[in-house]
Structure formats: structure tokens, C-alpha cells
Amino acid sequence: MSYLNRNYSEKAKYFLITIVSLTIVLFFIISYKNDKSVKDDKSNILYEQTEVLPLKEFFFSKIKSPFKTVDYEIKSGDSIQKILKKYEIKNNDIQIIINKYKKYANPNQLLVGNKINFVIEKKLSEKYNSITYFFVPITKSTSIEITRDEDGEVTSNKVITKIYKRKVLTENVIKNSLYASALKAKVNPETIIEFDVKSTLDTGNHRDCCVFFQYQDPEHFYYVHLGAKPDPHSGQIMIVDGAPRRALTTNKNPVPWDDQWHHVRLERDTASGKIAVFFDNMKTPLMEAHDKTFTSGRVGIGSFDDMNDFSRVKIYGQRASTER
């Protein structure tokens, strides 16, 4: 009896070991197949991008920007007030836009067919919309830009959209006693060029004004470049003498351009070669040089990169011989 029990126990033990072994083998086989199917079929991966993107797009679709950009084509009979009222802009904002626009043109006379671009802001807590940006053409080459910053301050600028070049030559004889008055004041240059100038286009460090003098021909003349930020080719007294321009100064003083009028004076004394340029401060030159290459010639004013208004232009000097 004991022999039978012992034999049965051993058989049971071997049977149990066999079952466990087969279970382990079967487990690895199933695991391998499942792992292979996961690698072969990416659709089983829970974090696959194809399932996340629709969810992200769903949430973003529910987020609406409070800003709306409008491109409106001006029609006959339109005015700024009429157009903005169509878009339920606050009366106060409409009046601000009109007042800024009045500085440049009549708000009731718009160019039919042109487009106005503006940005409106819709706040859920308010019944009417606000306006943050307004851009409208007033001529074929000029537009008005009105913006509101984060602090609520509204500013306006005239923007030159197209620039046409036109060469104009005007000659005349200056007859007055201002030159004599300059000599009495112990100012002894042979030529004085004086004027008021206002920069009308903000080009940052490129804002400038130029004074040309003792011009012989396109390859021989002096000029002063009143650039906002001086460098070897800007903000200097220059000479063109049959070669590329060359600076006669190493000026490092910036020119304080803004949207206001400024006074400029250039003094030229050929006997000593002195060239002095004044900007607002008429006692201390902004820059000064000495050169005797050219002793007479034509004068002119203009700019390189900027748009300027000029006023009260005065030229004092002695008539040079017309003989060549």
C-alpha cells in the first residue's frame, strides 16, 4: 500500500511539473504573438497621434478669438462713421478714429473702390465692439494708419505706399540783406544754407536729411548727410570727387529726429576750407570739417531714405562766376 501511494505521488508530481511547463511555454507564445501584433498594427496603441489630434482640434475649435480682421471695399456714399457703425463699433471709438483721420483728410470723402483694413475686438462683457487698428488710403500713394496700443493710447501716421521720383531744377537770384546781416554778426562764411525740416516718414535709424553744396556735376560735389544713427556713410560730411563718396568727418553724434520741425544751418568758408553743420543748436556745430577741393557750385536739399517737409529755406552767398 505504501508503495502504491509513493508511486502515485511521484506520478502526480511529474504531471504537475508538465502542466506548469506547458503553461509557461503557452504564455510566452501568446505574449510573443500579442507583442508582434502590436508592432504590426499601430492602431492598437492608445497614445497614437491619430486619436489625439481630433481631440486637440475639437478643443481649439471651441476657442474663439475676440479679434476679427475686416477688409471693406469703399462704396459710393460711404463715410468712416457709416462704415464703422455697420460693425457695431463703439461711438467713442468711432469719434477717436474720425478725429485722428481729420488731421490728414475729410472723413466723409473716401476713395470709392479702395479697401479699408481694420481690426475689431469683441468683448463678451460689452454690447459694442472696440477697434484696435485702422488703415485707409487717402491718395494713390498715401495711406493713414491708426493704431491702439496695449495701454489704450491711439496714434496715427501717414504711410507712403508708393514713391514717385521727379527731378526738378529751379534757378533764381536771391536779393536781400540777410547775408550782410550774417557778416555783421561776425559770421564769415561765403555760403550759408538755412532751413526748417520735418521728417514725415519714420524709418528708424534711417531717418535723414541731406544738404548738397558746391555741386559741379554728378561726380563732383559736397553733401551733408544728417542720418539718425551715424556710421562711416551716414551722419557725416561727405565728398564725391570722381570716386565713391568719402567721409570728411568721423561724427558720432546722433541726429535727434522725431515728428517735429527742426532747424538746420550749413556754413561754408572756402578761404579756410571750413564746413560747419548745425542742427537746432545754432551755437555749437553738430559736425565740422575742413576741405578746399571745391570753391563754388550749386546747392540743394533732399534725403536718401526719408520723406521730408521743408520750410523757410534761405541761401546767403556771393554770386560765383559763370565762366568755366
Whole-number pLDDT of residue 177: 45
Same domain for 127 and 184: no
Q: How many residues can be counted in the chain?
A: 324
Same domain for 228 and 258: yes
Same domain for 140 and 182: no
> From the CA atom positions of the chain, what is the Rg in Å?
40
* CATH number of residue 131's parent domain: 3.10.450.350
Query: Between 294 and 35, where is the model more confident?
Result: 294
- 264's enclosing H/E stretch is strand 261-269
Whole-number pLDDT of residue 148: 85
Same domain for 268 and 140: no
CA 182 – CA 189 distance, rounded (Å) = 9
Query: Degrees (nearest 5) of the Cα angle 312, 316, 320?
Result: 135
Same domain for 198 and 148: no
Query: Between 176 and 216, where is the model more confident?
Result: 216
Same domain for 198 and 141: no
Q: For the residues of 289-324, what is the DSSP string, one character each? A: EE--S----EEEEE-SS--EEEEEEEEEE-PPP---
pLDDT at 47 exceeding the cut of 90: no
Report if residue 34 sits inside a domain.
Answer: no
Coil, strand or helix at 285: coil
Read off the pLDDT of residues 9-39 as tens digits, 9 standing for 90 and up.
555 555 666 666 666 655 555 555 555 444 4
Q: What is the mean pLDDT of the chain?
A: 77
Instruction: Sort residue 229 into left (φ over 0), alpha (ψ -120 to 50) or beta.
Output: beta
Report if residue 297 sits inside a domain.
Answer: yes
Q: Mean pLDDT across the stretch 269-284?
A: 91
Looking at 90, 125, 160, which one is the last position of a domain?
Answer: 160
Enter the pTM of the model.
Answer: 0.44
pLDDT at 275 exceeding the cut of 90: yes
CA 305 – CA 312 distance, rounded (Å) = 22
Report if residue 37 sits inside a domain.
Answer: no
Same domain for 155 and 202: no
Instruction: Sort residue 297 into left (φ over 0), alpha (ψ -120 to 50) or beta.
Output: left
Report if residue 204 sits inside a domain.
Answer: yes
Report if residue 253 sits inside a domain.
Answer: yes
Looking at 160, 188, 204, which one is the last position of a domain?
Answer: 160
Report if residue 45 sits inside a domain.
Answer: no
> Which of 34-48, 114-128, 224-238, 276-290 shows the lowest mean pLDDT across its residues?
34-48
Same domain for 255 and 210: yes
> Which of 64-73, 164-173, 311-320 shows the lowest mean pLDDT across its residues?
164-173
Same domain for 273 and 197: yes
pLDDT at 215 exceeding the cut of 70: yes
Read off the pLDDT of residues 83-124 as tens digits, 9 standing for 90 and up.
999 999 999 999 999 999 988 888 888 888 889 999 988 877
Coil, strand or helix at 159: strand
Q: Which residue type, as a one-letter code, is found at position 244?
A: P
Q: Which among 324, 220, 225 is positioned nearest to 266, based on CA atoms?
A: 225
Looking at 160, 186, 204, which one is the last position of a domain?
Answer: 160
* CATH number of residue 186's parent domain: 2.60.120.560
Same domain for 88 and 209: no
pLDDT at 163 exceeding the cut of 80: no
Read off the pLDDT of residues 68-78 as tens digits, 9 standing for 90 and up.
889 999 999 89
pLDDT at 259 exceeding the cut of 50: yes
Q: 129: which DSSP letter?
A: B
Same domain for 189 and 111: no
Whole-number pLDDT of residue 274: 93
Report if residue 7 sits inside a domain.
Answer: no
Same domain for 148 and 212: no
Whole-number pLDDT of residue 9: 54
Report if residue 168 sits inside a domain.
Answer: no
Percent of the chain with pLDDT over 70: 69
pLDDT at 43 exceeding the cut of 50: no
pLDDT at 247 exceeding the cut of 90: yes
Which domain covers residue 281, as residue numbers? 178-317
CA 224 – CA 231 distance, rounded (Å) = 13
